[in-house]
Amino acid sequence: MIINLNGKLVPQELAVVSVFDHGLLYGDGVFEGIRFYGNNIFKLEEHIARLYDSAKAIMLNITISMEKMIEETVKTVKANGIADGYIRLVVTRGVGDLGLDPKKCKESFYFVIAGKITLYPEDNYINGLSITTVAVRRSVAEALDPKIKSLNYLNNIMAKIEATNHGSAEAIMINQQGYVAEATGDNIFIIKKGILITPDLSAGVLAGITRDTVMALAKEAGISVEEKIMTRYDLYTADECFLTGTAAEVIPVVKIDARTIGSGKPGAITKKLQDLFHGVTKTIGVKVK
């Protein structure tokens, strides 16, 4: 595998990061996960825009322009010669000293990996996931805003550990007010009486690019969409439920906290949105030529 290390294409064995990099020492950095389908990098511009917003929010100066970052990402995919896969684009605060002061880091550092990812077994896409709400709360915006896609994922990891300890594949995180937020790396949707509903961004969730795509596709298909504050009651009484994320794509949920959702099988609207989503993955985005 060929890795883009701060603008240089190098073999995987040479793609190493300093132990003094604050991305490693403090989780001080930002990242994106991006998929490409049939040589089309899905919504690359949107991912790059979110990356630069995350960086701006933490006062991290990315050394290259957004246009150049798009070029570097395309270049990395091309170098690996694969048509379908998953990109991990990481920007760290860079090398500093052992203190946490980011001002000691002279220059930020980035790398791009273009590889593969499988989040859930194929069976879960056909028959659905069983998930659980967890005690670990989603971090509050006043501490670390969930809109920032930062390298500090411990909040999500703690939730994932709790869910898997209970034999569940994924966690649903509740916010400080007790409202539904999101999964550890995915947004959540329900369908109730034909309406597609997802937690409002004010619940403290990442503004998912797959979330946006699915909402737009639903509206085009004549399905009403609501972003609102949701409780666990809404999840338990939903007709259908699914998660969205770049790596997970659109994945049905059939059980939450041991309650069967709807018929216990992935619902018709979920399946339709899965199909509509796959229909646009090769068209919207930046082509790898």
Catalytic residues: 149
Q: Does 244 bind ligand PMP (CB under 6 A)?
A: yes
Residue closer to ligand PMP by CB (options 143, 258) is: 143
DSSP per residue over 153-187, as a string?
-HHHHHHHHHHHHTT-SEEEEE-TTS-EEEESSSE
Binding-residue pattern over the window 115 to 154 for ligand PMP, x denoting contact by CB under 6 A: ----------------------------------------
Regarding 285 and contact with ligand PMP (CB under 6 A), the answer is: no
Q: Residue 85's beta-bridge partner residues?
A: 36
Q: Which of 96/245 has CB closer to ligand PMP?
A: 245
Number of neighbouring beta carbons within 10 Å of residue 263: 11
Report the relative pairing of strands 170-174 and 129-133 from DSSP bridges: parallel
Q: How far apart are CA 83 and CA 186, in angstroms?
A: 24
Say how far apart CA 266 and CA 17 lie, in whole Å. 43
- Which of 7, 27, 33, 85 binds ligand PMP (CB under 6 A)? It is 33
Residue 274 has φ and ψ, to the nearest 5°, of -60, -45
What 3-state class would DSSP assign to 26?
Answer: helix
Q: Which of 57, 12, 50 is nearest to 32 (CA)?
A: 50
Beta bridge partners of 188: 243
Residue 241 CB, shortest distance to ligand PMP, in Å, is 15
Among 246, 270, 274, 281, binds ligand PMP (CB under 6 A): 246
> Which CB sits closer to ligand PMP, 33 or 85?
33
Tell which one of 179, 186, 266, 276 touches ligand PMP (CB under 6 A): 186
> Residue 85 interacts with ligand PMP (CB under 6 A)?
no
Q: Which one of the spans 53-61, 201-209, 234-242, 279-287 is the region binding ligand PMP (CB under 6 A)?
A: 201-209
* Only segment of 23-31, 115-123, 209-217, 269-277 that touches ligand PMP (CB under 6 A): 209-217
Q: Least distance (Å) from ligand PMP to the CB of residue 36?
A: 13
- Please give the full DSSP string across 226-289, using - where no structure is assigned: EEE---HHHHHT-SEEEEEETTTEEEEEEEETTEEPTTSS--HHHHHHHHHHHHHTTTSEEE--
Determine, following the binding rule CB under 6 A, whether residue 40 of this chain makes contact with ligand PMP: no
Site of interaction with ligand PMP (CB under 6 A) = 33, 156, 182, 185-187, 206, 208-211, 244-247
